[in-house]
Amino acid sequence: MTLSYDEILSILPHRPPMLLIDSASALIPGQSVCTQTYIDPEWDIFVGHFPRLALLPGIYLTEIMAQAAGIMLLSLPEHKGCLPILFEVNQMRFLHPVHPGDTLRGEVTLKVASGQMHVCRARAYTGERCVARGELTMAVGAW
């Protein structure tokens, strides 16, 4: 299943400028998703991070992967209207820099679910290069 930006808006509670996912593909609700994000050189964060060599902060990479996990989880009918809360980040590694103008591909798969808690394997790529990887625990509920 493929999702456009407007369809993502109907699933995630995030809104610009915090919505960081442009599209999603290969969605298997509750199991896996692949997302795409264009790293826009106009994002305000690049004014100060860093003026001489703009790099996407690791926390943005983590947030992009968490939003991908949110799409995967909230696409389940039983999670419609819920909030996906990033509960825990484990063993996150930032392997290569991400620059303005790059297109980031996020790949998230569910490892284990127990009640409201969902442990996900997350990876981010530019081209074929893995730039970040780790585990995200997402809490899903009608907080």
Helix/strand/coil for 102: coil
CA distance 87 to 103: 26
Structure letter (DSSP) for residue 3: B
14 is an active site residue: no
Which residue among 14, 49, 96, 118 is the active-site one? 49
CA distance 138 to 94: 20
Return the active site residues: 49
